[in-house]
Structure 1
Amino acid sequence: MSHFIVRRVAVLGAGVMGAQIAAYCANAGLEAVLFDLPGEHGGSVAAEQAIERLDALRPPPLATPRHARAIRAANYDDDLALLGECELVIEAIAERIDLKRALFGRIAPFLRHDAVIATNTSGLSVHELSDALPAPLRARFCGVHFFNPPRYMALIELIAGPDTEPALLDRLESWLTTRLGKSVVRARDTPNFIANRIGMFAMLAVMHHTTRLGLGFDEADALTGPAIGRPRSATFRTADVVGLDTLAHVVATLRDRLPDDPWHPWFGEPEWLTRLLARGALGAKSGEGVYRRDGQRILVLDGDDYRESAARIAPEVADILAERDPAKRLERLRACPHPQAELLWASFRDLFHYAAHHLAAIADNAREVDLAMRWGFGWAHGPFETWQAAGWRAVAEAIAADIEAARAMADVALPDWVTARDGVHETAGSWSASDRRLHPRTALTVYVRQSTLERVYGEHAPEHGDELWRNAGVRLWRRPDLDPRVGIVSFTTRAHVIGEEVLDGLAEALARAARDLDALVIWHEPPFTLGADLAQVLELCDAGEHARLERMLERFQHTSLAMRSCAVPVVAAVHGMALGGGCEFLMHAAHRVFAFESQVGLVETGVGLIPAGGGSTALAVRADRLARLTRSGDPFAFVEHAFAHVVGASVSTSAPHALELGYAREADDIVMHPRELLYVALVRARSLADAGWHAPLKPRDIVVAGREGIARLEAGLDDAGAGGRMSAHDRRVARAAAVALCGGDVAAGTAVSEDWLLAVEREQFMALLGTPATQARMRHTLDTGKPLRN
């Protein structure tokens, strides 16, 4: 198997997890065959219904509803022959080893000779499952554990079986990373692997200490969420989201499969959990669990009943958590007598103790554990990073003292390597407790594609990049190790907003690129940009500097056009939000490379303005180009489509959705792993330069929808206004958008110049900017982050 190319994936099991894995494969441009049991009267009803339900799930597993077309429903009675067309088979049925083994025996005769077979088990023995396959297939079998929901959780745990071919794991890791955009850790074949093993213990420890200290469940959640670098769902709310029945199942797996674990006495169902399950309270999916909603009120379990949730962190504990020094913070928590502080110290202590004791058994090295908790549970830092940042030796001594005093959850000494070291992470590698040495990062070439690897605390990243020039808003630099002749422009403003300093800097960078480089890439960490600098615009409004504002707007337009007309190709590398002026910039780039999770849109109407950095003009030009491909040549239908998205301030929920909205093109690249974005953009820029790219000619004789188009769009506004869906100012803003998109006060079918269109959008923008209502909207958005309807 010198190449690993997958075009079609079979997913066995159309439950929520299996269906979402199939959906994610479809998002990545793969065909998926989703198998389940046949219906009572035959057919693939279960799989068909699972596909239909995908569009209703939240958060949405599909990038757009049309991606469901790439998923084919199948059943085990009639369609097993389809397995012969699949290069990868992922089993995702119920977590019962007998059912999984029986299914493997059934599908084995139908598999391709080179197919990879993977189980999505969350903690069953890959070794025991492998035994159910014929011997020739075992070399191509492994565990591939997706985390729920698959679209949004980065982690995949890759687990070798006893006979898995090592080279296959390398190829599969590379494929999962680039093709599916996942972050992979190698886990050992132990119950619940790494993330669930550590994460579940962390939850059990918090639950135990919460009960022991008499704290409320909501109080514990206030303490164990963002306050310590963990998700907002914290502990008990996470249990509700996961499902209390699922929580009980995972705890049972620990209890049944780890009888010799020193923490085994704590692997039991808490009494409150047993009571909830007995009455069918399964958490979020049943509407009742640890938490319950009562109208607008959130209630939390308190004994046998519920009370209104009103948790807060005690002032003295909040003061400790605000401490910037991790060592002082943990030391102060340990010394503080408040029960909230004791909960945090005790939970950290027992987590560190547990992770150190089991490191040798569950993972190759400490880095795998820390990254698994970041990627699979959303922690800002893994347990070993947190420990090392807080002072390894001092914390180890405190843990040892608590073990000696019988305050820890297990009466077992820390491993000897803990006291012999001063941390587990160094630039040279991370500590392996099994072979007692530092393990460097993997040498797989797929990671060359990542512009920066995710580093753990104590591991220093190498310096990449040479700075060529900078001003207050823009940095022009390059990566000589990747391509010394392609420049990279990065905005340095807050949220990468576009103000005068960015416009000046980008103009200079374009000029330098045309003179000294072969191509230019616009890239920085997300967001791409939140658009124009509203604070700067409002400041100029308040100062009455309208002429300066109009000059700034004209420079914005000229900068957009300069990107399009630059002597070298300009590639926009987009991750996260590209809103307003940022969307206008990327619309004028020679090419776009999107991270899959990109939110793109012209949102100016939300602050009472219209796209006027060349965006309205670009949409009018596009409408004319599309109309020329039709029999009538009338651009109105295409203008109407753009108008709906501009007035509605539509924002894409993904890169494929941006294509449907008209803010991306079919030829653009979509990158599944966001850390590969810069690499792909540099490669694309190089290929454009080497192919002899040249700037397109300036658009001429643009046929517009004119007065008639404006009137037709306004008729729709009349209906919306009569229905109470638009305020008077909403209507004024929408009419301005209609005027800009239809080319102003000219007859329908008139051919105008690009300069004409730019002047129209500029005139409409400035008129709106001068209104008190628009300025109030801008101010409200800056103050609250939310739109104002006035």
Structure 2
Amino acid sequence: MSKNLLVRKAAVLGAGVMGAQIAAHLTNAGVDTVLFDLPAKDGDPDGIVLKAIANLGKLSPAPLASKAVAAAITPANYADGLELLRGCDLIVEAIAERMDWKQDLYRKIAPFVPAHAVLASNTSGLGINALADVLPEQLRPRFCGVHFFNPPRYMHLAELIPARTTDAAVLEGLESFLTTTLGKGVVYARDTPNFIGNRIGVFSILATMHHTQAFGLGFDTVDALTGPAIGRPKSATFRTADVVGLDTMAHVIKTMADTLPADPWHAHFRSPIWLEGLVAKGALGQKTGTGIYTRRGKDILVLDLEAQDYRASAGEIAPEVGAMLKEKDPAKKFAALRASTDTQAQFLWAVFRDLFHYSAFHLSDIAETARDVDLAIRWGYGWSLGPFETWQAAGWKQVAEWIAEDIVAGKAMSDAPLPDWVFDGRDGVHGAEGSYSPARNAKLPRSALPAYRRQRFPDPLLGERADPGETVFENDGIRLWHDGDGIAVASFKTKLHTVNDHVLDGLQHAIGIAERDFRGMVLWQPKEPFSAGADLAGALGLLQAGNLAGFEAMVANFQATSQRIKYSLVPVVSAVRGLALGGGCEFQMHGARTVAHLESHVGLVEAGVGLLPAGGGLKELAVRASQAAGPGGDVFAQLKRVFETVAMAKVATSAVEAQEFGLLRDGDVVVFNAFELLHVARQQALALAETGYRPPLPARRIQVAGDVGIATFKMLLVNMLEGRFISEYDFEIATRIATVWCGGEVDRGSLVDEDWLLQLERTHFIELAQQEKTQSRIAHMLKTGKPLRN
């Protein structure tokens, strides 16, 4: 069988929360998808699925990259739709977590599964071999488990669980499909209950709950300690439980108790009494409005077990412990936590100790390598470091001795000994040569599957060092480097990759080098965001110092850089990931092409800080409107499509939505795996170069909407003002945006050039920047990170 899994059509069985969202994400990726469920008792037999598809548009975060995608999902039911399976290449079963229900469904669909199709069960913990046992012999090599994490569009992790009978080529084909087409990070798990992510992740939550009680800490204090302070998400531990659902939490804990009777930590696999009490009362967390936390008006309250009531949430980290957590050296940090007599420090050491102990003890049962455990926890739970990375960073040998001492002293949650390999003289489990595998007693390198050759910089583990490429040019703003493939890569060095004079001058210089010595250039950042826009603090400083000439020069230089990108003699391709706001958005608009990660947030947001786009963004949208309208066409109709996007500072929440907003072009490329972004952008630049790339000819005959366009936009804005959708100052900013866009007070249909529009951008931008209300908006954004509506 070919290692390429060719998926033209897929089916998802089960239109519940997970099934419908998996179908949505397959459709996001351009896979023709059929969604199945039971036939409805009344009305349309596909009624259950139709309702699930309609519900996709209401969910937040949105499972659909664009609401229009929902219409592409085909509804079906098990009574009269099974013939549709014959045309499918991949079938994902995602019904409720009941072994008997899944097995019954497999018996029912088996006659309809084509001879080449792959069947996968999206289960979070049921036995894959037990599921495979009911399948006909010829289907077993094409069956495995695939566990998507919720929500499947956003969570990077997908666990792949082979059955004993699964064909290796099938697994490789599915791994490549999950990685490149769906953008996932794949780890292989053994067929053990809860696999890797939830086995370690849920244990960590159970250990935290156990020590919360043992040390007498409040839930809010523990959330303060186990969130960003230790490199974990803001929702920390107990807020996460509320979000997941306390009934789901209790069910997962019970599953561990039922399926892992021989686990040395089994005595701890039970829900605390308080958790059972909340579930019995129907206080299930976020979905019922009350759980460990609740809201009263604007106040967030937390459950106080002693008072048996809710109190104001005010969990704080003790100053002494806060100082320890800020220590940059992990070895010093862990030594301080273990030595401290502070309750919070002792709690943190205990939580880490038991997590390390559990992870090391079970590594050989649940995974091939320590890499699989660390990546599963990072990608599935959002931790910045996995358990083994954390331990290795803190000093492997010393921490191992401390854990062993605590086990002997009866302080650990289990008296099971650490495995012998922990003490074989090693300094950790990850290194340049790979990650430790207990089964092979060696460090194994990453997979050599062709899909991974597309990842120039995969998500790095501790101890891995990526070759940074050869530097060509560097200043305080950017670094220009290459890999010998003829494409130069420019990466920004500023915080949040904001644009200042160093970046502007650096980019113009870099393009000159690219034109002379390379075939193309890519704008790419090693980490998110692509660019949060102009350096507002620097701009505000110039204004407040009364340096208007310096401020005007910066704006002119910004426009000159955008134009340099547009008219470069070699293609400049932007590789966008994360935020591309303001000037960052304008840079990619001027490139020969943009390659954007699906989860890019793109927007011209200047109106939010009392300004208008003046890096050529308005000019470029006017050029596009003129081209789309054609000679003598209706330019206003084209502009109207994007007016609200810019005037209301709207941000697209996916690359597909950015195309609908007109901020990305239809010909721009959307990539699902962020780690493949650089590869695809370089290939696009090379392809453009191969076709004899020339920049566009200067736009000298841009048709504009003129005074009539401005008047019409003003009428729309008056309605918004009277309806109180915008403030008086928003009205002024939006009017200026319309004025620039329409080419100023000229006749409708007039022809202007780019310089004319750039001059209008500069004039209105500089006039707005001098207004007190704009400067208040900028200052407020810098201080709070939120827009001010004045």
The range that moved more, 72-81 or 426-435, is 426-435
Looking at structure 1, the residues matched to 683 and 700 of structure 2 have their Cα atoms a distance apart, in angstroms, of 32
Cα deviation for residue 371 of structure 1 reads 0.8
Aligned to 1:607: 609
Aligned to 2:375: 371
Mapping of 1:631-642 within 5 angstroms?
633-642=633-642
Cα deviation for residue 19 of structure 1 reads 0.8
Cα deviation for residue 554 of structure 1 reads 2.0
Confirm or deny: 8 A CA contact 2:87 2:114 kept in the other structure. Answer: yes
1:466-493 superposed Cα distances (whole Å, 9 cap, x missing partner): 111112212111122xx1x111111112
Mapping of 1:248-647 within 5 angstroms?
248-303=250-305, 304-420=308-424, 421-457=426-462, 459-480=463-484, 483=485, 485-524=486-525, 525-628=527-630, 633-647=633-647
Looking at structure 2, the residues matched to 147 and 107 of structure 1 have their Cα atoms a distance apart, in angstroms, of 25
Confirm or deny: 8 A CA contact 1:643 1:741 kept in the other structure. Answer: no
1:118-140 superposed Cα distances (whole Å, 9 cap, x missing partner): 00000100000001110100000
Aligned to 2:15: 14
Cα deviation for residue 607 of structure 1 reads 1.2
Aligned to 1:214: 216
1:179-214 superposed Cα distances (whole Å, 9 cap, x missing partner): 000000000000000010001111111101111222
1:730-777 superposed Cα distances (whole Å, 9 cap, x missing partner): 221111101000000101111222222222222211221222221222
Looking at structure 2, the residues matched to 443 and 590 of structure 1 have their Cα atoms a distance apart, in angstroms, of 33
SS of 1:51's partner is: helix
Looking at structure 2, the residues matched to 682 and 255 of structure 1 have their Cα atoms a distance apart, in angstroms, of 50
1:388-443 superposed Cα distances (whole Å, 9 cap, x missing partner): 11111111111111111111111111111111133211211211122322222111
Looking at structure 2, the residues matched to 340 and 558 of structure 1 have their Cα atoms a distance apart, in angstroms, of 55
Aligned to 1:199: 201
Aligned to 1:667: 667
Mapping of 1:21-100 within 5 angstroms?
21-41=22-42, 43-100=45-102
Aligned to 2:106: 104
Cα deviation for residue 455 of structure 1 reads 2.3
SS of 1:10's partner is: strand
Cα deviation for residue 562 of structure 1 reads 1.7
Cα deviation for residue 637 of structure 1 reads 1.2
Cα deviation for residue 221 of structure 1 reads 1.3
Aligned to 2:5: 4
SS of 2:600's partner is: strand
SS of 1:460's partner is: coil
The range that moved more, 421-430 or 591-600, is 421-430
Looking at structure 2, the residues matched to 373 and 423 of structure 1 have their Cα atoms a distance apart, in angstroms, of 18
Cα deviation for residue 302 of structure 1 reads 2.0
Confirm or deny: 8 A CA contact 1:467 1:476 kept in the other structure. Answer: yes
**What is the TM-score of this pair, normalised by structure 2?**
0.97
Confirm or deny: 8 A CA contact 2:430 2:464 kept in the other structure. Answer: no
Looking at structure 1, the residues matched to 670 and 545 of structure 2 have their Cα atoms a distance apart, in angstroms, of 43
SS of 2:287's partner is: helix
1:451-477 superposed Cα distances (whole Å, 9 cap, x missing partner): 2122222x2314231111112212111
Cα deviation for residue 54 of structure 1 reads 1.0
Looking at structure 2, the residues matched to 727 and 645 of structure 1 have their Cα atoms a distance apart, in angstroms, of 17
Looking at structure 2, the residues matched to 226 and 547 of structure 1 have their Cα atoms a distance apart, in angstroms, of 42
The one-letter amino acid paired with 2:242 is: D
Looking at structure 1, the residues matched to 48 and 13 of structure 2 have their Cα atoms a distance apart, in angstroms, of 12
Aligned to 1:155: 157
Aligned to 1:781: 781
Looking at structure 2, the residues matched to 38 and 677 of structure 1 have their Cα atoms a distance apart, in angstroms, of 42
Identity of aligned residues (%): 54
Mapping of 1:748-759 within 5 angstroms?
748-759=748-759
Confirm or deny: 8 A CA contact 2:373 2:386 kept in the other structure. Answer: yes
Confirm or deny: 8 A CA contact 1:145 1:158 kept in the other structure. Answer: yes
**What is the TM-score of this pair, normalised by structure 1?**
0.97
SS of 1:367's partner is: helix
Confirm or deny: 8 A CA contact 1:595 1:673 kept in the other structure. Answer: yes
Confirm or deny: 8 A CA contact 1:521 1:685 kept in the other structure. Answer: yes
Cα deviation for residue 546 of structure 1 reads 2.0
Cα deviation for residue 51 of structure 1 reads 0.8
Q: Structure 2: 5+ residue runs without aligned partners?
A: none
Confirm or deny: 8 A CA contact 2:8 2:88 kept in the other structure. Answer: yes
The one-letter amino acid paired with 2:98 is: R
SS of 2:480's partner is: strand
Cα deviation for residue 117 of structure 1 reads 0.4
SS of 2:57's partner is: helix
Cα deviation for residue 338 of structure 1 reads 2.1
Cα deviation for residue 691 of structure 1 reads 0.9
SS of 1:395's partner is: helix
Looking at structure 2, the residues matched to 422 and 555 of structure 1 have their Cα atoms a distance apart, in angstroms, of 51
Confirm or deny: 8 A CA contact 2:582 2:604 kept in the other structure. Answer: yes
1:663-687 superposed Cα distances (whole Å, 9 cap, x missing partner): 1112111110001000111111001
Confirm or deny: 8 A CA contact 1:188 1:361 kept in the other structure. Answer: yes
Cα deviation for residue 552 of structure 1 reads 2.5
SS of 1:56's partner is: coil
Looking at structure 1, the residues matched to 14 and 515 of structure 2 have their Cα atoms a distance apart, in angstroms, of 54
SS of 1:286's partner is: coil
SS of 2:573's partner is: strand
Cα deviation for residue 555 of structure 1 reads 2.2
1:217-242 superposed Cα distances (whole Å, 9 cap, x missing partner): 12211111111111111111111111
The one-letter amino acid paired with 1:516 is: D
Confirm or deny: 8 A CA contact 2:478 2:506 kept in the other structure. Answer: yes
1:132-164 superposed Cα distances (whole Å, 9 cap, x missing partner): 110100000001000011111100000000100
Cα deviation for residue 55 of structure 1 reads 1.3
Q: Structure 1: 5+ residue runs without aligned partners?
A: none
The range that moved more, 633-642 or 175-184, is 633-642
Confirm or deny: 8 A CA contact 2:436 2:443 kept in the other structure. Answer: yes
SS of 2:295's partner is: strand
Cα deviation for residue 547 of structure 1 reads 2.6
Cα deviation for residue 348 of structure 1 reads 1.0
Over aligned residue pairs, what C-alpha RMSD do you find? 1.3
Cα deviation for residue 614 of structure 1 reads 1.2
Cα deviation for residue 726 of structure 1 reads 2.8
SS of 2:777's partner is: helix
Aligned to 2:124: 122
SS of 1:597's partner is: coil
Aligned to 1:653: 653
SS of 1:117's partner is: strand
Confirm or deny: 8 A CA contact 1:361 1:434 kept in the other structure. Answer: no
Confirm or deny: 8 A CA contact 2:457 2:466 kept in the other structure. Answer: no
Looking at structure 1, the residues matched to 469 and 228 of structure 2 have their Cα atoms a distance apart, in angstroms, of 33
